[in-house]
Structure 1
Amino acid sequence: MFRITKEFHFSASHQLTHLPADHQCARLHGHNYIVVVELAAAELDENGFVRDYHELSPLKRYIDERFDHRHLNEVFGHDRVTSEYLAKHFYDWCKEWLPETSAVRVSETPKTWAEYRP
């Protein structure tokens, strides 16, 4: 199996108001998110690619237009916008137009990652 990844960045705020008031994530805060999309294929295409990296440009536009410098609670309309939730959201979005999508990882901090992989 061949695998490729591409990394995307955005900054946004969120607040997990359903957590106890003394939990640090219950307060309004922000992150510099990193989203890594993984594509996989058993065979390469006629150009020797799993997929041309340029074909992931729509994801960059989607992230920049919908998420960058936004409050994620407002974007999604709820307060459970965790890294895990974002990984599944970006996986579903990518899988619709890139069937080779095999996983998405999301980082809020340099030491933490959440991954969705069916």
Structure 2
Amino acid sequence: MFRITKEFHFSASHVLDHLPADHQCARLHGHNYVVVVELAAPALNGDGFVRDFHELAALKAYLDEHFDHRHLNDVIEGPTTAEALARHLHDWCRARWPETAAVRVSETPKTWAEYRP
């Protein structure tokens, strides 16, 4: 299996308002998010790629337009956890690139959430 990954960055705020009021994430706060999309294929296309990295610029445009310097509670439905964000972005990517295998989202340098069906 061939695998490629590409990393993207954006900054946003959110509130996990379903948590108890004394939980730090129940307060308004923000992160410098890192998103890694992974695509996989058993064979390379005619150009020798899993997918041309240039095509993944569409994800950067999507993140810049809808997520960067936004309040995530206004952008996606349901909890705005890293896990939920990974699933949302995976589904967005998979609709465009069937080779999408996983999406990882980091809120801090030491924490990652991944959605891999």
Q: Distance in 1 between matches of 2:11 and 2:102?
A: 21
The gaps in structure 2 that reach 5 residues or longer are: none
1:24 aligns with 24
2:64 aligns with 64
**1:77–1:92 distance in 2 versus 1, CA, 3 Å:** closer
Q: Distance in 1 between matches of 2:64 and 2:112?
A: 20
Q: Distance in 1 between matches of 2:93 and 2:14?
A: 22
Q: Alpha carbon RMSD of aligned pairs, Å?
A: 0.8
1:4 aligns with 4
**1:51-102 deviation line (CA, Å, top 9, x unaligned):** 0000101111000000000000111254x10000000000000000100000
Does the residue aligned with 1:54 lie in a helix, a strand or coil?
helix
Q: Distance in 1 between matches of 2:47 and 2:107?
A: 35
Specify the code of the residue in structure 2 equivalent to 1:55: E
TM-score normalised to the size of structure 2? 0.98
Q: Distance in 2 between matches of 1:81 and 1:58?
A: 22
Report deviation, 1:45. 1.0
Count of aligned positions: 117
TM-score normalised to the size of structure 1? 0.97
Query: Residue 36 in 1 paired to residue 36 in 2?
Result: yes
Q: Distance in 2 between matches of 1:22 and 1:35?
A: 28
Specify the code of the residue in structure 2 equivalent to 1:62: Y
**1:90–1:77 distance in 2 versus 1, CA, 3 Å:** closer
1:93 aligns with 92
Report deviation, 1:47. 1.5
Q: Distance in 2 between matches of 1:94 and 1:77?
A: 18
The gaps in structure 1 that reach 5 residues or longer are: none
1:81 aligns with 80
Does the residue aligned with 2:101 lie in a helix, a strand or coil?
strand
- Identity rate of aligned residues, in percent? 74
